[in-house]
Amino acid sequence: MKKTTHFGFKDVATEDKQGMVRSIFDSVASKYNLMNDVLSFGTHRLWKHYTIATSNVKVGDKVLDIAGGTGDLARAFKKKVGYSGQVVLSDINAAMLSEGRKNLINNGTTDVQFVQLNGEQIPFVSGSFDCVSIAFGLRNVTDKDQCIREMYRILKPGGCLLILEFSKTDIVLLEKCYDFYSFNVMPQLGKIIANDEDSYQYLAESIRKHPNQEILKQMVLDAGFGACEYHNLSGGIVALHKGIKI
């Protein structure tokens, strides 16, 4: 029998998920930044700012951003590591990576490397990065445990993992409003602005299927990280998990 996994609320053959996710991001790439600002009312910028500010990344560090898409984190990390450091912006999707490259050039950020890669099979040697980040990417990865193990492998001892991802709020009223917004407003905005209702329906569904804060924390520890803590943002709609390789 074929192994299955979820793609939003649908069950699909595990081997098909990657291609289906690729189609979503091929479709949204050119409007990705605009939609991010509209759908989150600009709040994604604050979530990312918090991630960078609490990352402990310093001048000279080597940072890999996985599923980096249009490059918000990579651009901010480059400012932190300076010219003696190195930032690699990576993504599985060529269209997203190419938007990322354009954005970085337009913002005057140079000296960032671009690598098209799958977070489940990272083509870097073990112990080579001080920090590895993945923002709003993990829920799209087919084998999340494998991706976290790979992120563990490429970190140096003492290195830091940052997972910024949609999560679960336990504030009942907020959850109700958020559910209404996600399933009624978001797909309609996707239809009006990007002519793409389905991708934004997938976004809402994939968020609901993603592991909650405690489960993700356990996944990080199971991958070998010696410590993991998380911080809820916007009442738990988003959480930042930070793992340390000891």
- The site for ligand SAM (CB under 6 A) is made up of 21, 25, 66-70, 72, 91-93, 96, 118-120, 135-137, 140-141
Would you say 150 and 126 are in contact if contact means Cβ atoms under 8 Å apart? no
DSSP state of 8: T
Nearer to ligand SAM, 35 or 228 (CB): 35
In order, the DSSP letters of 72-110 are HHHHHHHHHHTTTSEEEEEES-HHHHHHHHHHHHHTT--
- CA dist., res. 1 & res. 76, Å (int): 45
Nearer to ligand SAM, 137 or 243 (CB): 137
Other Cβ atoms less than 10 A from the Cβ of 157: the count is 9
The phi and psi torsions of 69 (rounded to 5 degrees) equal 50, -120
Per DSSP, helices labelled H in 155-196 are 172-180, 186-194
Residue 154: how many CA atoms within 13 Å on its side-chain side?
Answer: 23
Which helix (DSSP H) or strand (DSSP E) does residue 110 occupy?
none
Smallest gap, in angstroms, from Cβ of residue 246 to ligand SAM? 26
Smallest gap, in angstroms, from Cβ of residue 30 to ligand SAM? 12
Smallest gap, in angstroms, from Cβ of residue 101 to ligand SAM? 13
The phi and psi torsions of 114 (rounded to 5 degrees) equal -115, 130
Nearer to ligand SAM, 134 or 220 (CB): 134
CA separation (Å) from 77 to 30, 86, 126, 187, 228? 23, 9, 21, 32, 21
Smallest gap, in angstroms, from Cβ of residue 63 to ligand SAM? 13
- Which residue has the closest beta carbon to ligand SAM? 69
Smallest gap, in angstroms, from Cβ of residue 6 to ligand SAM? 14
Nearer to ligand SAM, 207 or 228 (CB): 207
Nearer to ligand SAM, 136 or 230 (CB): 136
Smallest gap, in angstroms, from Cβ of residue 81 to ligand SAM? 18
Nearer to ligand SAM, 69 or 85 (CB): 69
